[in-house]
């Protein structure tokens, strides 16, 4: 039984009150949980794939039944109403989608044949699930990011323990009820609440780790995983660039850029965070962007109305304000919006557009994670590409040009894992279809998307048989 002083308070992003509490497991209890999961994984991993899929589909049905309760909890976690109530259905689609594609993906990964080096040797591959996967997830998309990696890992046959962020953990209670509805799954999937200390302790227990979060924490996680020689899959921040060419449809460009800048109050890893616009259309683009920005309303006081909700993590508002202050102090111009405002205990920010920005400013180099769109003019295509690639990050990017071919030509030269052409911020579209690597500080450890999103949870083994007669076998070992 945990003592009251072990509890951690959780702030409500709309009221500013601490109105929820979580109790992290003690290190001893965490160890016991992991041992239980390990024991159950042996049978889970040995089940035929079709049986694991049947269990996962029952979980999808259970989430659908509890979707309202999960959405309600996540809406308090994040301050966002509509998106929070869409997320349970996105997770359900994710489970059903992976269940559909997994058999063929696994089939294609199972290789067999004859050695090209020793013709007498035949081989067959075996996929062995990693026994216990740890998932450490951030506050900005609580349920989705707690399960994005867990779903394919469970289908692969792993047991999974998830540690979501202490900032947004309310969704765990109703989600745990959906897991409890499916006893075979409850034996191999557990959510634990806690802060960074629980995350660190978790790394000591697991066989591989999926982390989604900031670069600073990712570095600590990578070091801890390296100390244990366990694989670490790190998905970190971004500073996504969008390039708008002289030939672009400016209405399309402004719509795409604005949506991908302010969606979820800009608290999405692949939000558009900087825009490079050809000088010949810069002013017209900014005018359209400002017009569209001014049409957006704060989602206050009614969480079901408006477009831009509160900052989920209160300290984020101060970071975004500091980026705006730094830009204005160095000569940037505020075209619309402005710094955060406090309403009813929550911190809100209107869609904000900055012009006359440079790469000396934080708003063009550090992750802002707010509804801010800084716009910079460029003269040549080479300059646009150089500016877009001048970043510590490389998560995703966007190009809006006269046509897809022009956009593709520029997109191919951008150092980012997922490049949207003629739109922005659509990375999630390829989740189960195409692989992408992060560039620079945005990630490490192979694609979480496409076939590798599932296959990375297997240790690949090769079983080899030598069919040579005894006399020929000796030849293999001769010096
Ligand atoms: P964060 O502060 O790095 O936290 C991420 C997770 O790590 C949380 O669960 C956190 O727990 C935990 N943690 C903190 N310290 C730890 C430690 N020493 N050892 C192990 N775990 C530890 O990130 P965040 O602020 O929650 O999330 C925002 C960041 O995530 C942004 O940079 C965003 O770009 C990035 N992100 C990336 C992607 C992607 O796919 N690339 C997607 C979404 C978000 P507590 O919160 O409880 O301290």
Domains in the chain, CATH or no CATH each: 4-236+438-464 (3.40.605.10), 240-429 (3.40.309.10)
- Is residue 475 over pLDDT 70? no
- Tell me if residue 468 falls in helix, strand or coil: coil
pLDDT at 337 over 50: yes
Distance 428 CA to ligand 1 centre (A): 19
Report the alpha-carbon distance of residue 160 to residue 172 in Å, rounded: 14
* Ligand 1 atom with the shortest distance to the CA of 213: 30
pTM: predicted TM-score of the whole model, two decimal places: 0.96
Q: How far is the CA of 132 from the centre of ligand 1 (A)?
A: 20
Residue 479 has pLDDT above 80, yes or no: no
* pLDDT above 60 (res 3): no
Q: How does the average pLDDT of the chain come out, rounded?
A: 96
Average pLDDT, integer, range 370-377: 98
Closest protein CA for atom 9 of ligand 1: 165
Burial of 122 per CB tally in 10 Å (0-12, 13-18, 19+):
middle
- 235 has catalytic annotation: yes
DSSP state of 298: B
- Please say if the pLDDT value at position 1 is more than 50: no
476, pLDDT greater than 60: no
Within a 10 A sphere around the Cβ of 405, how many other Cβ atoms? 9
pLDDT, tens digit, for every residue of 52-83? 999 999 999 999 999 999 999 999 999 999 99
pLDDT in tens, 344-368: 999 999 999 999 999 999 999 999 9
- 35 C-alpha vs ligand 1 centroid, how far in Å? 25
Please name which of 137, 179, 174, 134 lies closest in space to residue 158, comparing C-alpha atoms: 134
Q: What is the pLDDT of residue 473?
A: 77
Structure tokens at 294: 């001014």
Note the pLDDT tens digit of each residue in 264-280: 999 999 999 999 999 99
For the CA of 367, the closest atom of ligand 1 is: 32
Q: In this predicted model, what pLDDT tens digit does every residue of 205-232 receive, in sequence order?
A: 999 999 999 999 999 999 999 999 999 9
CA–centroid distance, 222 to ligand 1, in Å, is 13
3-class DSSP state of 260: helix
As a whole number of angstroms, the distance between CA 164 and CA 466 comes to: 48
Instruction: Tell me how far apart the 2 most distant CA atoms of the chain are, in Å.
Output: 85
Would you give the DSSP letter of residue 152?
Answer: H
**Mean pLDDT of the region 121-127:** 97
> 119 Cβ partners below 8 Å, 6+ apart?
none
Mean predicted confidence (pLDDT) in 30-38: 98
pLDDT, tens digit, for every residue of 393-448? 999 999 999 999 999 999 999 999 999 999 999 999 999 999 999 999 999 999 99
* The two structure tokens encoding residue 209: 């780790």
* pLDDT tens digits for range 170-207: 999 999 999 999 999 999 999 999 999 999 999 999 99
**26 in the Ramachandran plot: left (φ > 0), alpha (ψ -120 to 50) or beta?**
beta
The single residue of 235, 273, 366, 367 carrying the catalytic annotation is: 235
Give the pLDDT confidence score for residue 470 in this predicted structure: 84
Q: Indicate which atom in ligand 1 lies nearest the CA of residue 395.
A: 41
Residues recorded for the chain = 479
The answer, yes or no, to whether residue 2 has pLDDT greater than 80, is no
- Pocket residues: Cβ below 6 A from ligand 1: 136-141, 145, 163-167, 195-196, 199-200, 212-214, 217, 220-221, 235-238, 269, 367, 395, 443
């Amino acid at each position: 039984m945990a003592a009251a002083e072990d509890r951690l308070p959780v702030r409500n992003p709309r009221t500013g009150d601490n109105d929820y509490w979580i109790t992290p497991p003690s290190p001893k209890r965490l160890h016991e949980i992991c041992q239980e999961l390990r024991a159950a994984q042996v049978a889970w991993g040995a089940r035929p794939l079709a049986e694991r899929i049947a269990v996962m589909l029952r979980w999808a049905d259970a989430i659908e039944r509890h979707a309202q309760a999960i959405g309600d909890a996540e809406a308090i976690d994040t301050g966002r109403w509509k998106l929070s109530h869409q997320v349970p259905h996105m997770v359900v689609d994710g489970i059903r989608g992976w269940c559909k594609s997994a058999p063929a993906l696994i089939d294609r990964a199972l290789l067999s044949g004859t050695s090209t080096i020793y013709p007498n040797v035949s081989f067959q591959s075996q996929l062995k699930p990693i026994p216990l996967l740890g998932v450490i997830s951030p506050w900005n998309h609580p349920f989705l990011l707690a399960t994005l990696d867990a779903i394919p890992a469970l289908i692969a046959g792993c047991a999974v323990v998830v540690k979501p962020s202490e900032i947004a953990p309310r969704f765990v209670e109703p989600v745990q009820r959906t897991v409890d509805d499916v006893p075979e799954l409850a034996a191999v999937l557990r959510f634990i609440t806690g802060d960074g200390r629980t995350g660190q302790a978790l790394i000591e227990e697991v066989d591989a780790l999926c982390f989604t979060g900031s670069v600073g924490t990712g570095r600590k996680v990578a070091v801890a995983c390296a100390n244990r020689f366990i694989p670490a899959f790190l998905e970190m921040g971004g500073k996504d660039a969008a390039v708008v060419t002289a030939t672009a449809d400016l209405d399309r460009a402004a719509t795409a850029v604005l949506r991908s800048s302010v969606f979820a109050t800009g608290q999405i890893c692949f939000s558009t965070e900087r825009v490079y616009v050809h000088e010949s259309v810069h002013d017209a683009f900014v005018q359209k962007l400002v017009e569209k920005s001014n049409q957006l309303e704060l989602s206050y006081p009614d969480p079901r109305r408006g477009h831009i909700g509160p900052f989920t993590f209160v300290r984020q508002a101060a970071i975004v304000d500091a980026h705006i202050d730094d830009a204005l102090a160095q000569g940037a111009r505020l075209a619309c919006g402005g710094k955060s405002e406090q309403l009813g205990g929550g911190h809100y920010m209107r869609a904000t557009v900055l012009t006359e920005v440079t790469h000396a400013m934080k708003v063009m180099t550090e992750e802002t994670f707010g509804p801010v769109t800084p716009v910079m003019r460029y003269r040549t295509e080479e300059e646009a590409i150089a500016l877009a690639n001048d970043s510590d990050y490389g998560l995703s990017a966007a190009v809006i040009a006269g046509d897809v071919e022009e956009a593709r030509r520029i997109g191919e030269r951008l150092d980012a894992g997922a490049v949207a052409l003629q739109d922005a911020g659509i990375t999630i579209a390829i989740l189960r279809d195409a692989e992408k690597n992060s560039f620079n500080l945005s990630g490490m450890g192979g694609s979480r998307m496409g076939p590798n999103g599932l296959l990375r949870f297997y240790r690949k083994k090769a079983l080899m048989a030598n069919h040579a007669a005894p006399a020929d076998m000796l030849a293999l070992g001769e010096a």
